[in-house]
Amino acid sequence: MESAHLAVDPAFSVAAVDRRLFGSFVEHMGRCVYTGIFEPGHPAADDDGLRTDVLALTRELGVTLVRYPGGNFVSGYRWEDGIGPVGERPRRLDLAWRTIETNAFGLNEFMTWAGRAGVEPMMAVNLGTRGVAEAAELVEYCNLPSGTAAADLRRKHGVAQPHDIRLWCLGNEMDGPWQTGSLTAYEYGRLAARAGHAMRKVDPSIELVACGSSNSSMPTFAAWEATVLEQAYDQVDYLSLHQYYDPDKTDPASFRASAVDLDGFIDAVIATADHVRAKLRRPKRIKLALDEWNVWYQTRFTEPEDRPIAEEPFRLIEDDYTVTDAVVVGNLLISMLRHADRLTVGAQAQLANIIAPIRTEPGGPAWRQTIFHPFAITAGLARGTVLRTAVTGPLMATGEFGDVPALDSVAVHDAERGELVLFVVNRGTEAVPMQLDLRSFRGLEIADHISISDPDPAARNSVAEPDRVTPRRTAGPALDGGTATVLLPPVSWHALRCTVPPKE
């Protein structure tokens, strides 16, 4: 059994953790909204039709931000359809998912839900089939107190105070040929710049996210980012990244090492953004928003264009997640934390039912999928400053990346709370004893050890067995001279919470 060594030192810091990193995503797609977060008549629904069981799980998950209303859906969405008296709202054909959108749940319902969930909204504007005027008017409706047509319309709809939405997405995946109204990089960059300029005329305090490539395998990847930023650099604060990892698309070892790919993707986008910054001679550095990411069994998903139009919410990509999937999600979160100096917004796609940590049954229960647990634990414990870790240990062979480290880790140090948390993953198929070297933190104690693993890495949670896979919490090993050894089972994720004396 090959051993490993992990050392961490407070001097090697990355950046403070931005709480926006632990975001999620709600799209009008499948059962994410209807019978997901919103189901009037459900036994757990409140007076506004919001499922309180899902609200409770959302708060437990630790979600800090939610992107809405899409996704592909937003590129055909008229935001005006989802405001005002529900009985007067139009039924529309959604071109993205070939469904009838009733608009029973719209902007103000979402903002009510966001308030009860305790999350910040991240609102997307339609730059697929609409444009500058509609985007600016939406900001006016949401953020101005009164005295204009749009602001007074919101007040007429019963919302006296502005929603005060700070973070806005300038469209969605505009490079994708599947996107309604897709554009070239130059076309989109000019449109994003014009829309952003108008939106900031309404509210100068908002933050704007430009669309990056739909994923890193797009043929225009990096060239798209560079061209868009050359046109819109002065108007935007963030560039988006979208990335999904499919267990069926590659060999098992490469899937378990998906974070290697995410590391490279993030580094490439940072390099591209900084190239444009140098070219334009701008002092501002563009930050990144990984506002769609997850494990997704995408090769199993087919969406025939001739599928009959759905009149009611239907089950769409409701993947059942395994222990292995949870370990990969935990590792992706490690990668995100490792880039905390530039990656400051995240949104796991999606919150309920659609490739989601939370599953529901219409009229029935809601439960936690396996991927719920590493997200909730990381969101709860990752407070403070990210620290680099130095890890040595066994390698594992992968088909896509060659030999990669079997172990991956990051640390977060909260000096005010006196805590150090180590997030560690063993993505190999052999157990590894790991020696922790924490001598740089005097008086340290390992308070507890939370882990996710199972003798069956394919184990899942379900409506019948909602707690088949849950985190295991044990007392941490005692430190001897600042060191201790922890056994990491194969295909496992870990959070070691240590108490650290506060700064003098």
Residues 6+ apart with CB under 8 A from 120: 20, 23, 64, 65, 66, 114, 166, 167
Q: Which residue has the tokens 């996210």?
A: 209
Q: Are strands 402-405 and 395-398 parallel, antiparallel or unpaired?
A: antiparallel
Name the strand (E) or helix (H) holding 114. helix 107-117
Strands (E), 133-286: 167-170, 207-210, 238-245
In terms of Cα–Cα distance, which of 198, 139, 210, 208 is closest to 173? 210
Check 101, 173, 225, 419 and give the catalytic one.
Answer: 173
Instruction: For residue 283, report the phi and psi dihedrals to the nearest 5 degrees.
Output: -75, -30
**Cα–Cα distance, 267 to 333 (Å, whole number):** 15
CA nearest to 345, candidates 386, 298, 286: 286
Q: Which helix (H) or strand (E) element contains residue 107?
A: helix 107-117
Residue 395's DSSP bridge partners are 405
Burial class (CB in 10 A: 0-12, 13-18, 19+), 385: middle
> In b/e form, how buried is each residue of 247-267, taking b as 16+ CB within 10 angstroms?
beebeebbbbbbbbbbbebbe
Q: How many angstroms separate the CA atoms of 271 and 274, rounded?
A: 5
> Looking at 27, 134, 292, 419, which residue is catalytic?
292
CA dist., res. 295 & res. 108, Å (int): 30
> Based on C-alpha coordinates, what's the Rg of the chain?
23
Which residues are CB-contacts of 201 (< 8 A; sequence separation ≥ 6)?
A: 136
207 is catalytic: no
CB contact at 8 A, 258 and 245: yes
Tokens of 88: 């007067």
Concerning whether 27 is annotated as a catalytic residue, the answer is: no
Backbone dihedral angles phi then psi of residue 19, each to the nearest 5 degrees: -65, -20
Catalytic positions are 173, 292
